[in-house]
């Protein structure tokens, strides 16, 4: 498994390069700035990007989309609800993503969840094909965008946000999802990584989504 986090752009957004260490295929998630750094990291990894994925369309997650897409000649994938809302309409997707869609990255399967609340078309991507060392047991990985953070949650007062939808998305799409266990790594749009179990225990807003 390839998993590389880069902190990019004016708001310190986490951009991820994720994919197969076998085929070297990767997706680039939320290229929010510093395109040269992203491109250089991809080259250093010897990776083969196959798509740009957006969890949502706020500027701090999309600033480098055009340069990354052009540099690697790869498709852009995100939610049409985000485009239609006007949150991000700079570029139409080459593939619109919906709940239940699957993105194959080598032998890795990424599943798409619709998780509105931070913005109308927010998405999460999860996979059960995570492979880590023996130091920490992990059953999978979820890229949560700005839905849930380590010990916190995303804002719902900007860009088409809705607090009720945000809490509902966390509860129904993550915490009560039978596919997702407490041993799933959460790779959020900002701050450090965490796990579903850790947020179930330690998140300051847990009473609103458990």
Which residues, at least 6 apart from 105, have a Cβ–Cβ distance to it below 8 Å?
A: 18, 19, 20, 25, 26, 27, 50
In a structure prediction context, what are the per-residue pLDDT tens digits for the chain, which is 210 residues long? 999 999 999 999 999 999 999 999 999 999 999 999 999 999 999 999 999 999 999 999 999 999 999 999 999 999 999 999 999 999 999 999 999 999 999 999 999 999 999 999 999 999 998 765 555 688 999 999 999 999 999 999 998 899 999 999 999 999 999 999 999 999 999 999 999 999 999 999 999 999
Structural domain count, the chain:
1
Q: Which domain holds residue 71?
A: 2-209
User: What CATH number corresponds to the domain at position 199?
Assistant: 3.60.15.10
> How far lies 206's CA from each of 153, 186, 202, in Å?
10, 15, 7
Cα distance between residue 3 and residue 32, in whole Å = 17
pLDDT score at 163: 97
Do residues 156 and 162 lie in contact, with contact meaning Cβ atoms separated by under 8 Å? Answer: yes
Q: What global pTM score does this model have?
A: 0.96
Under 8 Å between Cβ of 52 and 85: no
Residue with tokens 């902190």, as numbered in its chain: 7
* Count of residues in the chain: 210
């Amino acid at each position: 498994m390839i998993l590389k986090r880069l902190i990019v752009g004016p708001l310190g957004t986490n951009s991820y390069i994720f994919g197969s260490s076998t085929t070297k295929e990767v997706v680039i998630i939320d290229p929010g700035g510093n395109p040269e750094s992203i491109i250089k990291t991809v080259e250093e990894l010897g990776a083969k990007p196959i798509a740009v994925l957006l969890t949502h369309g706020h500027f701090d997650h999309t600033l480098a989309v055009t340069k990354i897409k052009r540099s690697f000649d790869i498709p852009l994938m995100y939610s049409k609800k985000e485009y239609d809302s006007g949150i991000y309409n700079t570029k139409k997707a080459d593939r619109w993503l919906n709940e239940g869609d699957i993105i194959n990255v080598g032998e890795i399967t990424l599943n798409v969840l619709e998780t509105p609340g931070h913005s109308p078309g927010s998405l999460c991507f999860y996979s059960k094909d995570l492979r880590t060392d023996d130091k920490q047991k992990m059953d999978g990985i979820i890229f949560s965008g700005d839905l849930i953070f380590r010990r916190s949650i995303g804002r719902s007062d900007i860009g088409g946000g809705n607090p009720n939808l945000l809490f509902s998305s966390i509860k129904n799409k993550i915490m009560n999802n039978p596919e997702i266990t407490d041993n799933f790594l959460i790779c959020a749009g900002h701050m450090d990584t965490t796990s579903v179990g850790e947020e179930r225990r330690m998140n300051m807003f847990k009473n609103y989504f458990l």
